[in-house]
Amino acid sequence: MGRVLVRRAYLESADLDLEQWPYTIPAVTDLAEQGLGFTRPITFLVGENGSGKSTVVEALAEAYGLDPYGGKAGTKYATSRGKSVLGEALRLKTSLAGQNMMKGPRKSRRGFFLRAETAMGLLAALSDKPGYWSGNTDEMSHGEGFLTAFDAMLARPGFYVLDEPESALSFSSSLRLVERLHRLGRSGAQVVCATHSPVLAATPGATILEFGANGISEVAWEDLLIVEHWRRYLNDPQSVLRHLLD
């Protein structure tokens, strides 16, 4: 795998109120107290709804200078929202290449943020615009639109932040995204991806960080709770459903 552009995320503000959201989320508490290091080009953040995955990836994108609404580095959108609470406080320690991509001339900045809540609107707004992708995603299925955007935007070294990119993808399309992410990691790019997908999390060479009640833990793929849950369900769905529906 290739280099790391962002080596560490940390908070340095002395005015943080750890009794207020989002610092009350265990994973965000960990981030505030210990920081978060990146040693491999691809990192997956995995956990249940409400575990802080999206909160952290959004803040990472904002700290890198990507638009909170989503989109590519060096570009702002009229519909942008302001930075999140965590995004305002988060700081990044970067390599020289990462610093140049984050702070250099606008045309040299490289990165892309897919925000889960705004993804469909973003794809519709940027279709067929110069520097993005060809074709109108409104005339494609959701999965085809996502893959069209990924093929165009995840194509060269840069810092890529993805929030649940699997939401519109079938199993085979998820495998195609795995291939794209693996190729990116080998090219000198860095990816941080929040996901519920055991398919994406199996990308070779990736770091997997599980967000849970005890904060953030690095785990092996086979030890992930989502892998255990899917394995149990696929092995015997009726047994799982019997407990749920009874």
Share of the chain above pLDDT 70, in %: 96
Tokens matching residue 4: 């790391």
Output the CA angle 145-65-104, nearest 5 degrees: 110
Q: Please tell me the pTM assigned to this model.
A: 0.93
Residue 148 and residue 140 in contact, taking contact as beta carbons nearer than 8 Å: yes
Token duo for residue 2:
């290739």
pLDDT bracket for residue 2 (50, 70, 90)? low
Phi and psi at 181, nearest 5°, equal -65, -40
Shortest CA distance to 31 belongs to which of 47, 10, 52?
10
Distances (CA, A) of 45 to 10, 34, 195: 16, 17, 6
Looking at the predicted structure, is the pLDDT value of residue 155 above 90? no
Q: 71 forms bridges with which residues in the sheet?
A: 113
**86-113: b or e for each residue (b if 16 or more CB lie within 10 Å)?**
bbebbebebeebbeebbeeeeeebbbbb
Residue 217 has pLDDT above 90, yes or no: yes
SS3 content of the chain, % helix, strand, coil (to 5): 45, 20, 35
> What are the pLDDT digits (tens) for 66-96?
988 888 887 776 555 678 889 999 999 999 9
Task: Give the DSSP letter of residue 21.
Answer: T
Give strand pairing partners of 87: none
- The mean pLDDT of 138-153, rounded to a whole number, is 88
Partner residues linked to 211 by β-bridges: 47, 216
Confidence grade of residue 16 (pLDDT, cut at 50, 70, 90): confident
122 pLDDT tier (thresholds 50, 70, 90): confident
The residue assigned the tokens 């490289």 is 110
User: Could you give all domains of the chain from N- to C-terminal order, each with its CATH number?
Assistant: 6-221 (3.40.50.300)
Say if residue 47's pLDDT is above 90.
Answer: yes
> Which pLDDT does position 80 carry in this prediction?
59
- Check residue 184 and give its pLDDT: 92
pLDDT 10s digits, 164-207: 999 989 999 999 999 999 999 999 999 999 999 999 999 999 99
Helix (H) or strand (E) holding 193: strand 190-195
Mean pLDDT (the chain) is 90
Backbone Cα Rg of the chain: 18
Asked if the model's pLDDT at residue 14 lies above 70, the reply is no
Q: How far is 228 from 82, CA to CA, in rounded Å? A: 38
- What pLDDT does 10 receive? 95
User: What residue has token string 């995603």?
Assistant: 137
